[in-house]
Chain A
Amino acid sequence: MSSKTRDLSDGTGGAASKRPLLEVRDLVKHFKVGAGIVHAVDGVSFSIMKGETLGLVGESGCGKSTTGRALIRLIDATSGSVTYQDRDILALSKPEMTSMRKEMQIIFQDPFSSIDPRKTVGDTIGKPLYIHRVGTKREREDRVDHLMELVGLSARLYNKYPHELDGGRRQRVGIARALALSPSFIVCDEPVSALDVSIQAQILNLLEELQNTMKLTYLFVSHDLSVIKHLSNRVAVMYLGKIVELSPTLSLFKNTLHPYAQALLSAVPVAKLRRTRERIILTGGVPSPIHPPSGCRFHTRCHHKTPVCSEREPQLLDAGEGHFVACHLVHKV
């Protein structure tokens, strides 16, 4: 069992230091498709402090996963910069990036497709060590044993194949693989959304424990606000390739400023009889990222829109105490 009461009063969370481990500036990723250009990520900036968890939340197609993947160069960004400990990640050469991968890792969403079905558990976890030529064969095997113990996998699973494991155990294999090279930064891309509730809680606690013992920094990408709130020190809300609100977790949930974030929060079904939040039902769906709306991208669905919203794009500005929001309504005052 594990419980959590984080000091959320300061912007970075108690555990985090003042210096950012990772800084993202104006990250842009456009995909060319038949119908035009998909503006998947359109000028996203944020920083992640050492030891903190930044939650990145949004609905499907908002660009949150693309952002996470672009940070560690699984996808090549169109423009922008990512600075990790004073090094510009996007400018690294291929061999430099390969060795940088020891520092930055990723945990994937789908434990069924993220592990090669033809490799045993031991092989999968040991692969990063093999690729980076860490130690002798014997040492690598011992390291795999240690990693398996760390993530709560029994040693007898070493020679098992993925299909013999359930989703929760597979996700543990994925976590062990990400930890193999002792990274300091991990992108968690919806690591629990494919899991059952009771298993999800196990994995969340494991991720938290690992963060504490191994001093990890997480970018936690998810569509599940309860999970994001549980794990993050700060949260960024994305909509159509832009961050609309970025704030310390508690402040975001207590004092939600952006109309989209308000609607998103109110839409979460709560397993309680008396919900405290009034439900805001948005009309329509998310506009196409090929032709994003002018001005504020949310103006087509916003209940509070003003004429300026469709003309000028709001900037992500501080509304006090590190609570950033991109909305004309907030900053007009």
Chain B
Amino acid sequence: MAALLSVNDLCVKYKTFEGIVHAVNGISFDIPERGTLGLVGESGAGKTTTALSLMRLIPAPPGIVERGKISFGGRDIHALSEAEMKKIRGNQISMIFQDPMTSLNPVLTVGLQISEAIVAHQNTSEREALKRTQEMLEKVQIPSARHKEYPHEFSGGMRQRVGIAMALACNPRLIIADEPTTALDVTIQAQVIELMRNLRQEFSTAMMLITHDLGVVGEVCDRVAVMYAGEIVEEGSLEQIFEDARHPYTTGLFKCIPDIEEDSSQIQPIMGLMPDPFDLPSGCCFHPRCPSCMEVCRVERPAFLRENGRTVQCHLYAKGGVTQ
């Protein structure tokens, strides 16, 4: 079965006064219908750039999509006209943003904001759109009568649920959620995660969840892609990544998190800093911080090794794997 979304060798760079930032450096991944991919990485890894390029929203200038193919539902995103793209944005692909405080317009009622999106995309009357809006609010556990209220009258968690309602309003095929729970408190985060899981099944939507929190990925996703310095260094099923991570960066990330369930926890930080985006390291971009760096890592960019439905980009596994 063809994937809903398929990204192949995507490269995005930003041209600035200080130099060229290679934000995304040849990444490839697929999201099947109803699949959930977690895109994990630290700040500056290129997660948000990836999300924006799927929507064709990379600001240009300074952004340039250098190469790569993105196909969504069998159509090449880059070949579409702007008018066709507008039909996809918000309708077939929609986004949930990190900050529920700023992603809603403070001077419009939430009901109006949701129904606006519906009217814009779905050829419905305003009355029908309002009805649908109230349904959506109920779905995210907000009393439908509150559609007349303004964003500031909602708490942070409720605002994020409004954001989810808005994203789901047009029954999209893919939702891109950019750090949807980062700004929320733990107990509220749990509510929102629970809600997203239920709604995803109900609406049978595919989702790409962008986050830095491996815990959240574990709760929601069935596949995980780990990004570092603009590359996907490892990709696999949740089990493969969580139980049997291969790439030293992935294993390093897990060792950085104190285990809340053990009596005594150990943490082992990854040494060094994120690479300078203007001046990425030669060879494997993780080599300056890698505990098992070899001679070849400094010189040669590792190939993608695919095996059992997982991909890892690391010289350590060069022999066992099947080179692309």
Do the two chains touch directly in the complex (Cβ atoms below 8 Å apart)? Answer: yes
Residues of A within 8 A of B (CB): 1-6, 8, 59-60, 166-169, 196-202, 204-205, 223, 225-227, 229-230, 250, 253-254, 263-273, 275-277, 279, 281-282, 285-286
Which residue of chain B has the shortest Cβ distance to A62 in the bound complex?
Answer: B185
Which residue of chain B has the shortest Cβ distance to A265 in the bound complex?
Answer: B260
Which of B190, B216, B218 has the most A CB atoms < 10 Å from its CB?
B190
A144 to B214, CA, bound (A): 37
Give the A-B pair count, Cβ closer than 8 A. 136
The reply to whether the CB of B99 lies closer than 8 angstroms to some CB of chain A is: no
A196 to B211, CA, bound (A): 11
SS class of chain B's interface: helix, strand, loop or mixed? helix
| Given contact pairs A263-B187, A281-B190, A198 touches B269 in the complex (Cβ within 8 A) | yes
A1 to B270, CA, bound (A): 9
Chain A residues lying within 8 Å of B273, measured Cβ to Cβ, are 166, 168-169, 199
Chain A residues lying within 8 Å of B158, measured Cβ to Cβ, are 285
B267 pairs with A272, CB closer than 8 A: no
A269 pairs with B268, CB closer than 8 A: no
Q: A272 to nearest B CB, angstroms?
A: 6
**What 3 A-B pairs are tightest by C-beta distance, nearest first?**
A269-B215, A230-B258, A201-B269
A160 to B185, CA, bound (A): 35
The tally of residues in B whose CB lies under 8 Å from a CB in A reads 48
| Given contact pairs A197-B253, A201-B270, A230-B265, A271 touches B186 in the complex (Cβ within 8 A) | no
Chain A residues lying within 8 Å of B242, measured Cβ to Cβ, are 271-273
A275 to B262, CA, bound (A): 11
Within 8 A of A (CB), among B199-235: 212-219
Chain B residues lying within 8 Å of A286, measured Cβ to Cβ, are 185
Q: B193 to nearest A CB, angstroms?
A: 7
| Given contact pairs A168-B273, A205-B267, A225 touches B260 in the complex (Cβ within 8 A) | yes
The reply to whether the CB of B21 lies closer than 8 angstroms to some CB of chain A is: no
| Given contact pairs A166-B273, A201-B269, A264 touches B187 in the complex (Cβ within 8 A) | yes
Which residue of chain B has the shortest Cβ distance to A57 in the bound complex?
Answer: B186
Chain A residues lying within 8 Å of B274, measured Cβ to Cβ, are 166, 196
A-B contact pairs, 15 of them (CB 8 A): A1-B269, A197-B42, A201-B268, A202-B271, A267-B186, A270-B218, A271-B218, A272-B259, A273-B238, A273-B242, A276-B261, A282-B190, A282-B191, A285-B158, A285-B188
| Given contact pairs A269-B218, A273-B242, A282-B191, A197 touches B186 in the complex (Cβ within 8 A) | no
| Given contact pairs A59-B187, A196-B212, A269-B218, A275 touches B261 in the complex (Cβ within 8 A) | yes
Which residue of chain A has the shortest Cβ distance to B42 in the bound complex?
Answer: A196
Q: A193 to nearest B CB, angstroms?
A: 10
| Given contact pairs A168-B273, A230-B267, A271 touches B187 in the complex (Cβ within 8 A) | no
A271 pairs with B261, CB closer than 8 A: no
A227 pairs with B187, CB closer than 8 A: no
A64 to B292, CA, bound (A): 41
A263 to B213, CA, bound (A): 20
Contact with A along B234-251 (1 / 0, CB 8 A): 000011001100000000
The reply to whether the CB of B157 lies closer than 8 angstroms to some CB of chain A is: yes
A285 to B268, CA, bound (A): 35
A271 pairs with B257, CB closer than 8 A: yes
The reply to whether the CB of B294 lies closer than 8 angstroms to some CB of chain A is: no
Q: B272 to nearest A CB, angstroms?
A: 9
A264 pairs with B186, CB closer than 8 A: yes
Chain A residues lying within 8 Å of B84, measured Cβ to Cβ, are none
Chain A residues lying within 8 Å of B218, measured Cβ to Cβ, are 269-273
B258 pairs with A226, CB closer than 8 A: yes
Q: A211 to nearest B CB, angstroms?
A: 15
The reply to whether the CB of B252 lies closer than 8 angstroms to some CB of chain A is: yes
Which residue of chain A has the shortest Cβ distance to B154 in the bound complex?
Answer: A285
A301 to B8, CA, bound (A): 48
Which residue of chain B has the shortest Cβ distance to A267 in the bound complex?
Answer: B190
The reply to whether the CB of B282 lies closer than 8 angstroms to some CB of chain A is: no
Chain A residues lying within 8 Å of B265, measured Cβ to Cβ, are 4, 226, 229-230
Chain B residues lying within 8 Å of A223, measured Cβ to Cβ, are 185-186
Chain A residues lying within 8 Å of B239, measured Cβ to Cβ, are 273
B261 pairs with A270, CB closer than 8 A: yes
Q: A110 to nearest B CB, angstroms?
A: 14
Chain B residues lying within 8 Å of A264, measured Cβ to Cβ, are 186-187
The reply to whether the CB of B194 lies closer than 8 angstroms to some CB of chain A is: yes
Which residue of chain B has the shortest Cβ distance to A204 in the bound complex?
Answer: B267
A59 pairs with B185, CB closer than 8 A: yes
| Given contact pairs A229-B265, A269-B215, A273-B238, A200 touches B191 in the complex (Cβ within 8 A) | no
| Given contact pairs A59-B187, A270-B218, A273-B218, A281 touches B194 in the complex (Cβ within 8 A) | yes
A200 to B212, CA, bound (A): 12
Chain B residues lying within 8 Å of A60, measured Cβ to Cβ, are 185
Which residue of chain A has the shortest Cβ distance to B194 in the bound complex?
Answer: A281
| Given contact pairs A271-B215, A285-B157, A226 touches B259 in the complex (Cβ within 8 A) | yes
Q: B259 to nearest A CB, angstroms?
A: 7
A198 to B256, CA, bound (A): 6
Within 8 A of A (CB), among B114-133: none
Chain B residues lying within 8 Å of A1, measured Cβ to Cβ, are 268-269
Q: A254-B263, A269-B218, A272-B218 are in contact. List 18 more A-B contacts (CB 8 A).
A: A4-B266, A198-B253, A198-B256, A202-B269, A225-B260, A226-B260, A227-B258, A266-B190, A267-B190, A271-B214, A271-B242, A271-B257, A272-B259, A273-B238, A279-B190, A279-B194, A281-B190, A281-B191
